[in-house]
A and B are shown apart, each in its own frame.
Chain A
Amino acid sequence: MPDLLFEIFSEEIPARMQGQATEDLKKLVTQALVDRGLTYEGAAAFATPRRLALHIAGLPARQPDLREEKKGPRVGAPDAAVQGFLKSAGLTSLDQATIEKDPKKGEFYVAVIERPGRATQDVLAEVLPGVLRTFPWPKSMRWGAASARSDALRWVRPLHSIVATFGPETEEPEIIRFSLDGIEACDTTYGHRFLSPGAIKVRRFDDYAPALEKAKVVLDPARRKEIILHDARDLAFAQGLELVEDEALLTEVAGLVEWPVALLGSFDEAFLDIPPEVIRATIRANQKCFVLRHRDGGALSNKFILVSNIAATDGGKAIAAGNGRVVRARLSDALYFWETDRKPLPDYADKAEKPLDQRLEKLKAMNIVFHEKLGTQAERVQRITALARDLAPMVGADPEKAARAAQLCKADLMTEVVGEFPETQGLMGRRYAELQGEDTDVAAAIEEHYKPQGPGDRVPTNAVSVAVALADKLDTLVGFWAIDEKPTGSKDPYALRRAALGVIRLVLENNLRLRLLPTFARAAQLVVNVRSEVPASKTTDADLLAFFADRLKVYLRDKGARHDLIDAVFALEGQDDLLMIVRRVEALGAFLATEDGANLLAGYKRAANILRAEEKKDKNARFDDAYAGASDAPDAERTLATAVAAATKAAAENVAREDFEGAMRALAHLRAPVDTFFDDVTVNDEDPAKRLNRLRLLSAFRQAVHTVADFSKIGG
């Protein structure tokens, strides 16, 4: 069966786009072929910096023939209908149609359209340019003289040539003839830009890949990664070192070279005084090189691995030396930053004594805006400090330490290192805090207050860290809620969902008791204190609490809890203590799993349905007045009344003690009386007084159940 070879040769494709582009190319071409009745045995796509290539194996030589019957109008139909039929079926006269009979419709015309399958080559000549014209690059461009036209071809970078051949193994494949903005598909590609730039005539994939390899192009990115990793490990090993592996960097580097050659570079050992995270960030982000560490303690070494795109005539000496020089220049910048950050800031030396405090003074003086409506970073620090101090006793932290950590937590934003490498924020603050003799808890909190960053990130346990981390996130949430910048759909530019999840995890995983509503109120008050124009309102608090409920549902669902149980608990008035909510949900889940629980739920639903039906009939109907005991009432009614009164009291007492299992047990006593009541007593008595009294009893029962959760929210 014939194969397709398709290659698009262009100027350098950004490394980060190559992976998706190969997926897209494969998907779009194979999909278009399948849609046209052309199935295949296998497909694989590849990318190098200068080309995308696709190999589809086992395509048929032709599309299958199609036979289609098209029903037309009945015999004797108006001329307009007949003409329309002829046109749509591609017939010139009715003689070409056959006549069929139908018991309902009578005689009608049928056109038999036979479409012989087209040669696959012709289908490809139509499909391939279409795919290129509509290729979903994240960003594409126009170029050259053709770009004066508005319909000019767009590609990720200028496209130079296209290889498209098709044919069976045993024969000379043919070129698929099409042209795109003046570029004719052909069977010529090119080798490595520097090592073997000549034209290469290719026939099919089986000779294409080896021909490229001979021309110093490794087509398969996975192989380039293997080569780099293997050679880098070898080079490291020979030095008695080990590679600090970095998958993202490896993928990126493999997308920057067609012929990977790993080389060893080095820098002056004096630079190792710089924190290793900063060295790594410098070498990785700016130079796309790998760092190496010692096999023993794992300390960073002064050697690094770079990956060149050529096998140089001097064995790579000049390249390694050149890269070494650039790394040294970058590291001397980093060293300068690291040293500068530990020195006093001349302009702020009179305002504070220690270096990090001086950076804080600078943060205040610079009036750096956090958000237009929420004020400056300095104002935010002031709020977080006050809030962290307030929260400290609730989380078991020393208020002074929490306040100190909060005060310094954003100061590192004014340091040179963080200015250059934003990903080191927090970490650098901790280092500088340690160096100026801050308490270890304070220093740790400066780093950890950003945590947890996501569902997989570690939750801090140090009490001071917890206080500041909560204050930071709650200030953000309350602030953005106050100015009505909430996440919508997929848009969450301030990562508020992550912040709320962070609060939830900090509270739950540290078993903390924290009432959210008063905390919101306190945080909101702090916002208003510095930003009087920001409105504070109770409704935003309720809305934010609902947002937490949603986040909590997501969090608990991931842990296997039922979201309807969470709703049942949140539906109760004033539920804002996350830990208690979760305990209640757990107790509720355990209770409903018992027979008593399941039956009580059934009884509850029956009672609730009756009440709802009555409430629907008469909007003014109210049944929450007390049930009046009557001596002539049936036993079942009196027994239920007594049981409801007792259960209500016991459940409330248990809830007050936060003993939710106890509360559930109290409710469990209602199961038998409820069942008997429904068996023996007709609620809808002819006597309206009796009826009303019984409805009140059911209402009291409903109320009793609601002491632990709103059972109406529970499904099943």
Chain B
Amino acid sequence: MQPQTTTHVRPADAGALAMDPKRSFQGLILTLQRFWAEQGCVILQPYDMEVGAGTFHPATTLRSLGSKPWKAAYVQPSRRPKDGRYGENPNRLQHYYQFQVILKPSPPDLQDLYLRSLAAIGVDAALHDIRFVEDDWESPTLGAWGLGWECWCDGMEVSQFTYFQQVAGIECSPVSGELTYGLERLAMYVQGVENVYDLNFNGLEGPDKITYGDVFLQAEQEYSRHNFEHADTDRLFRHFKDAETECRKLLDAGDAGERHLMVLPAYDQCIKASHMFNLLDARGVISVTERQSYILRVRELAKACGAAWLKTEAGGMSGGTK
């Protein structure tokens, strides 16, 4: 089923405008959610912690491990403190949205599904040049890698498409397909807007119109100040260490031999450590050599969590947790 498009919307029909993927940012999100729901995905809500990318959500990282089939889609606010530009750059944000789809095992028609999702949000493949350009994805902090592409629409990268081969240092068996849509970029493209802050958020016009800038400009300015100038680095170093220690503690405490009973709380601490590292990196207090060792420390946590996940029911262990 195709979502509504502008052709059959009456100007007065504010509800339809608000839902139109070509007119509103929220419409784009709603259309993608609906499309992937129709493909049998569970539509999750964002994970309630600061993460650098949708991949960090346990629904991707942990669920891509083990043999249990899994299909999910969700929006994930992503924070990259270093990319902040005080709201002055039309393309760069320290907080932005990713739309994440994870399908395990990867279905044979994943490329077609992806192209159909683009059609659903109004990208016409007879008019636009859609391309799959090699991009080997790797997340050193998650100990993960996969092969796939950047998906280009008329020269613009609008999504990443990856077949996970390894996550948390563990071979994926079976392989999951991961799609990540850069929502702001995609919206800028379909709305024909050159500055992210000019995106129409709610699809309305005149006094009722809310732009992306109305929602996020102030936040970008404030967080840029925080990330680059004021984040207390001593505290961040301390928090990094605390999260690392806590993660290890929880993994030890939850270890019941054949089974593991506390992976998710431990993994939260791994996410936290990763975010602390990103903030420290933005403050420019981590030298190149130290950088490597911090990445390695987070990776060790991720690996330990992944190994523990395999000892749980959702990690494919049968018989249920006690």
Give the interface of A toward B (CB within 8 A). Answer: 11-12, 14-16, 49, 139, 141-148, 150, 156-158, 160, 194, 256-257, 287-289, 306, 308-310, 312-314, 318-319, 321-323, 325-329, 332-333, 336, 366-369, 372
Contacts and interface: CB of A to CB of B under 8 A. Distances in A.
B64 to A, nearest CB: 12
Contact of B108 (A49, A139, A142, A160): A160
Interface of B: 67, 89-91, 105-108, 111, 125-134, 136, 146-149, 153-156, 163, 165, 172-175, 177, 189, 194, 284, 287-289
B144 to A, nearest CB: 14
Nearest to B110: A158
Nearest to A15: B134
A288 B288 CA distance: 30
A369 B287 contact: yes
A256 B131 contact: yes
9 contacts: A16-B134, A139-B136, A142-B174, A145-B105, A156-B147, A194-B130, A310-B126, A326-B155, A333-B91
Contacts of B153: 322
Given A12-B132, A139-B147, A194-B130, A326 B156 contact: yes
A329 B194 contact: yes
For the complex of A and B, the 10 pairs showing the least CB-CB separation, nearest first, are A322-B154, A14-B134, A323-B155, A12-B132, A148-B174, A147-B175, A308-B129, A147-B174, A326-B155, A141-B147
Nearest to A321: B154
A144 B106 contact: yes
A141 B163 contact: yes
Contacts of A329: 90-91, 194
Nearest to A263: B129
B80 to A, nearest CB: 16
Contacts of B194: 325, 328-329
Contacts of B134: 12, 14-16
Nearest to A368: B288
A177 to B, nearest CB: 22
A146 B173 CA distance: 9
Contacts of B177: 143
A29 B89 CA distance: 54
A283 to B, nearest CB: 10
Contacts of B172: 142, 147
B175 A313 contact: no
Contact of B111 (A11, A145, A287, A332): A11
A141 B111 contact: no
B128 A318 contact: yes
Given A141-B175, A144-B107, A144-B108, 10 more contacts: A14-B134, A141-B165, A143-B175, A144-B106, A147-B105, A158-B108, A194-B125, A194-B130, A256-B133, A328-B194
Nearest to A370: B288
Q: Which of A49, A326, A332, A368 has the most CB of B within 10 A?
A: A326
Nearest to B154: A322
B133 A327 contact: no
Contacts of A16: 134
Contact of B147 (A144, A148, A157): A157
A319 B129 contact: yes
B228 to A, nearest CB: 11
A194 B174 contact: no
B22 to A, nearest CB: 13
A368 B129 CA distance: 42
Contact of B165 (A142, A318, A319): A142
A592 B87 CA distance: 76
Given A325-B194, A327-B155, A148 B165 contact: no
A628 to B, nearest CB: 67
B105 A144 contact: yes
A444 B165 CA distance: 48
A256 B152 CA distance: 11
A157 B90 CA distance: 35
Contacts of A148: 67, 105, 173-174
Q: Which of B125, B136, B147 has the most CB of A within 10 A?
A: B147
A141 B155 CA distance: 26
Contacts of B148: 157
Contacts of B89: 333, 336
B106 A369 contact: no
Contacts of B130: 194, 309
A256 B126 CA distance: 18
Given A11-B111, A144-B106, A369-B288, A312 B175 contact: no
A135 B163 CA distance: 19
A561 to B, nearest CB: 43
Nearest to B111: A11
Contacts of B154: 318-319, 321-323, 325-326
Contact of B155 (A14, A157, A306): A306
A257 B289 CA distance: 41
Nearest to B155: A323
Contacts of A326: 154-156
Nearest to B108: A144
A287 B155 CA distance: 6
A321 B127 CA distance: 11
Contacts of A157: 147-148, 163
Contacts of A332: 90
Contacts of B129: 308-310, 312, 319, 322
Nearest to A142: B175
Nearest to A325: B194
A314 B165 contact: no
A460 to B, nearest CB: 29
A76 B131 CA distance: 75
B131 A158 contact: no
B83 to A, nearest CB: 12
A691 B90 CA distance: 95
Nearest to A194: B125
A312 B132 contact: no
Nearest to B67: A148
A261 to B, nearest CB: 9
Contacts of B173: 147-148, 150
A158 B67 contact: no
B151 to A, nearest CB: 10
Q: Which of A144, A287, A319 has the most CB of B within 10 A?
A: A144
Nearest to A50: B132
Contacts of B165: 141-142
B125 to A, nearest CB: 5
A313 B288 contact: no
Contacts of B156: 322, 325-326
B111 A368 contact: no
A132 to B, nearest CB: 17
Contacts of B287: 366-369
A141 B289 CA distance: 31
Contacts of B90: 329, 332
Contacts of A11: 111, 132
A314 B189 CA distance: 18
Contacts of B91: 329, 333
B132 A318 contact: no
Contacts of B108: 144, 158, 160
A15 B133 CA distance: 8
A333 to B, nearest CB: 7
A322 B154 CA distance: 5
Contacts of A325: 154, 156, 194
Q: Which of A15, A194, A306, A322 has the most CB of B within 10 A?
A: A322
Contacts of A12: 132-134, 149
Contacts of A150: 173
A312 B127 contact: yes
A74 to B, nearest CB: 57
Contacts of A367: 287
A558 B155 CA distance: 45
Contact of A322 (B107, B155, B174): B155
A333 B175 CA distance: 37
